[in-house]
A and B are shown apart, each in its own frame.
Chain A
Amino acid sequence: QVQLRESGPGLVKPSETLSLTCTVSGGSISGYYWSWIRQPPGKRLEYVGYISKTGTTNYNPSLTSRVAISVDTSKNQFSLNVNSVTAADTAVYYCARIGSGTSTPDRGFGNFDYWGRGSLVTVSS
């Protein structure tokens, strides 16, 4: 059973960089695309971006100037950096697997079949 777990600081100061890592267990990071999704308090889920095992990335245009996602296949991990954070970046951050890969049903590209439990990141001084 694939499991994802987010890790990183729960509190970040304004203007600094938010950094989170997602560790994938129970399966290889290869063969799939991996994504970050966030949910600000009281708001809807928001797609942040995705990365492939080879490092191909895509970012939400609303965040693209501040976001970077990277992958470390040797550790079965991928990471998120968001720089110059403000209070608006306060959210629960989820890592998730895009549900289209070598061993999945044909679900199309862009839904999410495995999620981490989420990591609350608060931006505050």
Chain B
Amino acid sequence: DIVMTQSPDSLDVSLGERATINCKSSQSVLHSSNSKNYLAWYQQKPGQPPKLLIYWASTRESGVPDRFSGSGSGTDFTLTISSLQAEDVAIYYCQQYYTNPPWTFGQGTKVEIK
């Protein structure tokens, strides 16, 4: 199975400041046939299910604010919140869907307000 490792485990950021979350996969999730990275990001607010934010490593899901952006390729990826809002307090997960299942998730990064 591909192991997904996120860093840091938690992050305290001031309102309006940038938050950066890293995700590393144990093997490349870049598919040579279409040059796409099979990597998604989710946001999970307290008491709610995960919400799909980004797929193909950098494509925002419809309705997701543009302060959320994804980048990276191969094995190293980043989710950036450009200007943290109070409603962004959540746990963020990366997930690979490169291989046949089992698709795997990172351990999560908790983002809180400083």
Binding site for B on A (CB under 8 A): 44-47, 49-50, 58-62, 94, 96, 99, 105, 107-113, 115-118
Contacts and interface: CB of A to CB of B under 8 A. Distances in A.
B77 interface: no
Interface stretch (B18-26, B44-52, B79-87): B44-52
A107 B56 contact: yes
Interface in B32-53: 36, 38, 40, 42, 48-52
B50 A45 contact: yes
A107 B55 contact: yes
Contacts of B71: none
Between B59, B62, B102, the greatest number of chain A beta carbons within 10 A of the residue's beta carbon is seen for: B102
User: Which secondary structure dominates chain A's binding surface?
Assistant: loop
Contact of A45 (B36, B59, B101, B105): B105
18 contacts: A44-B106, A44-B107, A45-B93, A47-B105, A49-B101, A58-B101, A60-B101, A60-B102, A62-B102, A94-B49, A96-B49, A105-B62, A108-B38, A110-B101, A111-B55, A111-B95, A112-B42, A116-B49
B28 interface: no
Q: In terms of DSSP, what is the predominant structure of the interface of chain B?
A: loop
B102 A108 contact: no
Given A94-B50, A108-B36, 20 more contacts: A44-B93, A44-B106, A44-B107, A44-B108, A45-B50, A46-B102, A47-B103, A47-B104, A49-B101, A50-B101, A60-B102, A99-B52, A108-B38, A110-B101, A111-B40, A111-B55, A111-B103, A116-B49, A117-B48, A117-B49
A108 B100 CA distance: 12
Nearest to A45: B105
Please indicate which of the listed interface residues A44, A110, A113, A117 has the most CB atoms of chain B within 10 Å of its own CB: A110
Contacts of A62: 102
B52 A111 contact: yes
Contacts of A113: 52, 61
Nearest to B97: A110
B49 A110 contact: no
